[in-house]
Structure 1
Amino acid sequence: MTTALVVTAFIAAYVLIATERIHRVAAALWGAAAMVLLGVVDAKTAFFSEETGVDWNVIFLLLGMMIIVGVLRQTGIFEYLAIWAAKRARGKPFAVMTMLIVITAVASALLDNVTTVLLVAPVTLLVCDRLGIKPVPFLIAEAMASNIGGAATLVGDPPNIIIASRSGLTFNDFLVHLAPVVVILLVVFVGLCRVMFRSALTYDEARVQAVMELDEREAIEDRGLLLRSLGILALVLVGFMTHSVLHVEPSVVALLGAGAAVAVSRLEPSDYLAEVEWPTLVFFGGLFVMVGALVKTGVVEHIGQSLTDAVGDRLFLASSVVVAGSAVLSGVVDNIPYVATMAPIIKDLAGPLGVDAQHDSLWWALALGADLGGNATAVGASANVVILGIAARNGHPISFWTFTKYGLVVAFVTVALSWVYLWLRYFALA
């Protein structure tokens, strides 16, 4: 009975988020409160459990990077990059979009997708403002590009980190097995953006000419702070890429970087805290509690176990079900807790690493399904939620369905191509 009530409460909260009858933060908090009132969640479950509680690593990673972005904004670097990008693209919207997509995807492979969108979104807003074009299509494209690019490496997307820790896969394993298909998907995605956003890719010749006459170097307001902040950011990025060697969580690296940036900036708290997306952080908290209740009651595990029972030892069918099922479920619940729940199931199904390529393909199916399926809806991936928060705070709200109507197309196409890739590489040509 309790499980049925938990599922009902989750669906009700999700419907409120999707329909936007109330603000998504309120819907997430109401959903979390329902889980508490149903007796499924208590303080220990919500705040201290790694399996069912708030993922504080995600929350504090976001907070730290938001503060660093807040310090960087005071230097004028985002204005500089916006003018530089617009001039290199000759003011043509599709060229600008393609440039930002590629930058976002590559950066997401090296960092993580949430950090990347936090850095790229301010530049995007400024570029669009300079050119007089609507930023919403660009922001949506960047969120999706970050999820696609992040799938290429171990550190690119939080689900990949979870998969690596549970499976024993290395950074090079991810690069060799996933980077090739991600490059293909990125090219296809650029083509999809050309079709999906064609009506928004118009521009004003006069605005373009005005931008071409600007000198981007004049946008830098504090060169000393810029150099110090970029040095700290570089150290943070190195920390992200070597965190598994250093045994320091990315969230700790981000907070240390934020503290150093604040220390060298000597700015007032109101200056650097202005970039913190507090509603987004609270929304994540509520969402984690709701999903954690599904995990605790065994709903997610039951779904995953049902999938594995259905496929048995038929590995191609298993890979197909995992990639498709992961895509669907990651579009509904955040892909971080989903992968954390599915990883032990996949470990049992795949067995030890190196048995053969077909068994190992189950891990790649999980990674591709979860990472790419996160594009399907506005709450499917952390980067999507962050982009929506940034857009809303800057006066360009993106509704759940505005994002989702494009996301469903992108998720379907990219997951379908990934399925073909899995079949060719690990079964047909193995």
Structure 2
Amino acid sequence: MSVILASTIFIISYFLIMTEKINRAVVALSGGTLLLLSGIYTTNDVFIRYIDWNTIALLFSMMVLIAITEKTGLFSYIAVRFAQQVKGEPIPLLIGTCVLTAVGSALLDNVTTVLIFVPIILKITKLLTLPSFPYLLAIILSSNIGGAATLIGDPPNIMIGQAVDHLTFLSFIVHLAPVALFNFMFMIAALVLLFRSSLKKVQTNKHELMVIDAESYIIKSPMLYKSVTVLLVTISGFVLHAFLHIELTIIALSGAILLLLLTEKEIATERIFEKVEWVTLFFFIGLFTLVGGLQEVGIIDELARAIILYTDGNYAYTAILILWISGLFSGVIDNIPFVAAMIPVINEFESYGMLYLDPIWWSLALGACLGGNATLVGASANVVVAGLAEGANQRIPFIRFMLYGIPFVLFSLVISTIYIYLRYLLPYIGQTS
């Protein structure tokens, strides 16, 4: 009975999250509360065993760091200066949008990056009388591909990094950045081919862009230098955390608290906390409670057993299956809840004799991050972009996006399959044969 109840609550919650008729944080928290009321688990289980407070704290810390830095106008200045450097030319602007978004998503995180760049790009395209869709599409695709390259780039990677101690910031760069870069180069080439003719026909209003004073966006104050310094030191700490023997969460929290202390006289802490994406944080909390219910009743164990039985315990088949399952599922549902559900599944593989799980973790990360490009609900960054665009009366049609997104995802998964097989599985098969 408990299995049916937990499954039903989970499925209904997922469906409501997908439809977005009700705030997703409210849905996730409601589902978790129903599991508590039904006696599936206790509050002790939820708060100690199932909610990953490291992930919550890491996300909160990055939100604080970016919120303070954004107040200096630095990100707006960079975007406007970049548009002026390419003289408002549509194709260079498209390519530059991709590069800035991908780099920002890799170093900051993709949700934060799109929150910063989408309003600026919408303003620039309006000034130049350019269609916004190609640029918004480029931002979404670039944010998920760029986010796949680092541990902090995409929430699924953060969750995997927190779940597997030995997968460091540098590990993600070494193992995922090469295939992310290849997919990124293909994406730019494809976007240029797809939109080159239509963008060249547009009569742009470059003069208005060129007369904007980019300097007016940036606030040259002590807070600017403090923000940039602390942000750079924090990112350096992420890169070196394996050598420093300090957890990522501690580094992020230290950076956030330090910057709050340094800027407290210039901007009230209350104003910074208002900028924190509390809905996202509480969505994660609710999500962890939902997945915890599946773990508690044994569904996660059964799913792991089913995958092993289907692949007959074949190491290579299991890695490729995880890649494609995560890629296809992440296109239909938000990749965050999918990864939250899959992490305990992969951990369970150890009990079936699979001791070297790294290629399977990389398969999950690539599938979840790249698969999120298939639809507007595939990743949190997609939902954020769609919301910002709609607020500016530049709605992104769901079907139109999907017609571009699905082919990109299928190509990305094929390339990732080849990469995973050649880099990890072929050497492993050679050693065991």
Q: Same fold (TM over 0.5)?
A: yes
Amino acid at match of 2:268: E
Q: Is the 8 A contact 1:280 1:386 kept in 2?
A: no
**In structure 2, what is the Cα distance between the partners aligned to 1:291 and 1:384?**
23
Q: Classify 1:106/1:220 alpha carbon distance in 2 versus 1 (closer, same or farther; 3 Å).
A: closer
The match for 1:90 is 87
* Number of the residue aligned with 2:112: 118
Determine if contact 2:28/2:283 at 8 Å carries over to the other structure.
yes
CA distance in 2 between counterparts of 1:257 and 1:393 reads 32
Percent identical across equivalent pairs? 34
Shift of 1:232: 0.9
Q: Which residue of 2 aligns with 1:236?
A: 234
Residue matched to 1:279: 279
In 1, Cα distance between the equivalents of 2:392 and 2:270? 17
Aligned CA distance change for structure 1 residues 29 and 222 (closer, same or farther; 3 Å):
same
In the alignment, which residue of structure 2 is the partner of 1:365?
363
SS of corresponding position for 2:149:
coil
Which amino acid in structure 2 is aligned with residue 113 of structure 1? D
Q: What residue in structure 1 maps to residue 31 of structure 2? A: 31
**2:121 aligned partner, one-letter code:** V
- The corresponding residue for 2:55 is 58
- The question of whether the paired residues in 2 share the 8 Å contact of 1:378 and 1:403 is answered with yes
| Alignment of structure 1 residues 73-88 onto 2, 5 Å | 73-88=70-85
Instruction: Structure 1: give runs of 5+ residues left out of the alignment.
Output: 354-358
Q: 1:247 to 1:155 in 2, by over 3 A?
A: farther
Cα distance change, pair 409–47 in 1 and its aligned pair in 2 (3 A): farther
CA gap of 1:224–1:416, structure 2 versus 1, over 3 A, is: same
Partner Cα distance (2:267, 2:202) in 1: 37
TM-score of the two chains, using structure 2 as the length reference: 0.80
Instruction: Please give the alpha-carbon distance, in whole angstroms, between the structure 1 residues aligned to 2:235 and 2:217.
Output: 25
CA distance in 2, matches of 1:325, 1:28: 23
The residue type equivalent to 2:76 in the other structure is E
The superposition leaves residues 216-242 of structure 1 with CA deviations (integer Å, 9 ceiling, x where unpaired) of: 223222333211110111111112222
Q: Which amino acid aligns with 2:100?
A: I
Q: Report which stretch shifted further, 411-420 or 335-344.
A: 335-344
- Cα distance in structure 2, aligned partners of 1:287 and 1:203: 46
Q: Aligned equivalents of 2:292 and 2:399: distance in 1?
A: 25
Matched letter for residue 293 of structure 2: A
1:340 matched to 2:343? The reply is yes
- Taking the TM superposition and a 5 Å limit, the aligned residue runs for 1:11-30 are 11-30=11-30
Instruction: Point out where structure 2 has 5 or more consecutive residues left out of the alignment.
Output: none
Shift of residue 304 of structure 1?
Answer: 2.5
Q: Distance in 1 between matches of 2:305 and 2:197?
A: 44
Distance 1:405 1:293, change over 3 A: farther
How far did residue 44 of structure 1 move?
Answer: 1.9
Q: How much does 1:290 deviate?
A: 1.6
- Structure 1 range deviating more: 264-273 or 155-164: 155-164
Q: Under a length normalisation based on structure 1, what TM-score does the superposition of the two structures give?
A: 0.80
Aligned-partner residue type, residue 84 of structure 2: K
Distance verdict in 2 for CA 1:61–1:167, change over 3 Å = closer
Aligned positions of 1:204-219 closer than 5 A: 207-219=205-217
Find the residue that maps to 2:122 and give its secondary structure. Answer: helix
Q: C-alpha distance in 2, partners of 1:121/1:73?
A: 10
2:143 to 118, 143, 146: 146
Post-superposition Cα deviations, 1:367-409, rounded to whole Å, max 9, x if no partner, equal: 4223323444556555556656776888878798887675544
CA distance in 1, matches of 2:316, 2:95: 35
Residue equivalent to 2:418:
420
Deviation, 1:186, is: 0.9
Residue number in structure 2 paired with 1:72: 69
Residues 402 and 16 of structure 1: CA distance in aligned 2, closer, same or farther (over 3 Å): farther
Preserved contact between residue 169 and residue 241 of structure 2 (Cα < 8 Å)? no
Distance change >3 Å, CA 397–CA 32, structure 1 → 2 = farther
- Where do 1:285-364 residues align within 5 Å? 285-331=285-331, 332=333, 334=336, 335-347=338-350, 351=354, 353=356, 361-364=359-362
Q: Tell me which residue corresponds to 2:101.
A: 104
Secondary structure (helix, strand or coil) at the match of 2:234 reads: helix
For the 8 Å contact 2:101–2:113, the answer to whether it is kept is no
Q: CA deviation at 1:293?
A: 1.8
Q: Distance in 2 between matches of 1:191 and 1:79?
A: 26
Q: Is the Cα–Cα contact under 8 Å of residues 330 and 338 in structure 1 kept in the other structure?
A: no
Count of aligned positions: 419
Question: What are the superposed Cα offsets for residues 119-148 of structure 1, whole Å, 9 maximum, x if unpaired?
Answer: 453133123214316767645643443332
Question: How far 1:81 sits from its partner (Å)?
Answer: 1.2
Q: Could you tell me which residue of structure 2 aligns to residue 257 of structure 1?
A: 255
Alignment of 1:107-186 (within 5 A): 107-109=104-106, 111=107, 113-114=109-110, 117-119=111-113, 121-132=115-126, 138=135, 141-153=138-150, 156-157=153-154, 159-160=156-157, 162=160, 166=164, 168=166, 174-186=172-184
Matching residue of 1:356: none
* Aligned-residue RMSD, C-alpha: 3.8
